[in-house]
Amino acid sequence: MPSVHPRFANSVFINCPFDAEYWSIFEAIVFGILDCGFVPRCALEEADSGAFRLSKIQEIIRASKYTIHDLSRVELSGDTRLPRFNMPFELGLDIGCRVYGSNQARKKKCLVLDSDPYRYKSFLSDISGQDIRSHHNSPAIAINLVRHWLRVVTKRESIPGPIAINERFARFTSGLPVLCDESSLDRDDLQFVEFVALVEAWLRVDKQVSSRREILGHGTRKGS
């Protein structure tokens, strides 16, 4: 992540599980946010053991105009047989920040995701009426949902289409093991800040190559 925190208007806080089963969806969401021109933020961006986790999350939520909350892992743990409440709790913090916060905080926008439609009604009926979107545990669908939401709430015409983002994500994912080897990183233990840095660098090169091809293509047509 950059040493200077991104501006409020470009920050997207991601509230989601960080387990291995969910990781491919998490990487897809992070990639999609970056490809759309925004900065993904989450609790994994800092590794300061002295920082109180809740205070850190509160600060990131406060500093992010856009927030994504995935409730797909609100289920009983296999070990404890107890539900996981972290994601609904952070959603509550975000809603509270928007309702009771400053004028800037009241401009915040959020996207709520789940794995299946209407499942949330069984464990968090208070948010009924919200436009909950379902990704069906598919990274491609998650990218589409995040992209469409950012396009609507920001009205930024620079945001690329979902087909282009998914195509780039597939190519990036395919080449990621080689990128990790070249950077002496472990693909199976890739840290959030490392993943973000790799995506940013890859997107810069990919878009430069695409622009160069487009220019050459126009030149060929003009000279033909």
Tell me the residue length of the chain. Answer: 224
Is 168 in contact with 35 (CB distance < 8 Å)?
A: yes
Model confidence band, residue 78 (pLDDT cutoffs 50, 70, 90): low
Produce one character per residue of 178-187: b if its CB has 16 or more CB atoms within 10 Å, e if not.
Answer: ebbeeeebee
SS3 content of the chain, % helix, strand, coil (to 5): 55, 10, 35
Model confidence band, residue 2 (pLDDT cutoffs 50, 70, 90): very low
Question: Which tokens belong to 164?
Answer: 């282009």
Domains of the chain in sequence order: 8-160 (3.40.50.2300)
Return the percentage of the chain with pLDDT > 90, whole number.
Answer: 63
17-49 pLDDT, tens per residue?
998 999 999 999 999 999 999 999 999 997 766
What is the per-residue pLDDT for 149? 97
90-143 pLDDT, tens per residue?
999 999 999 898 889 999 999 999 988 767 666 666 566 567 889 999 999 999
179-194 pLDDT, tens per residue?
999 999 999 999 999 9
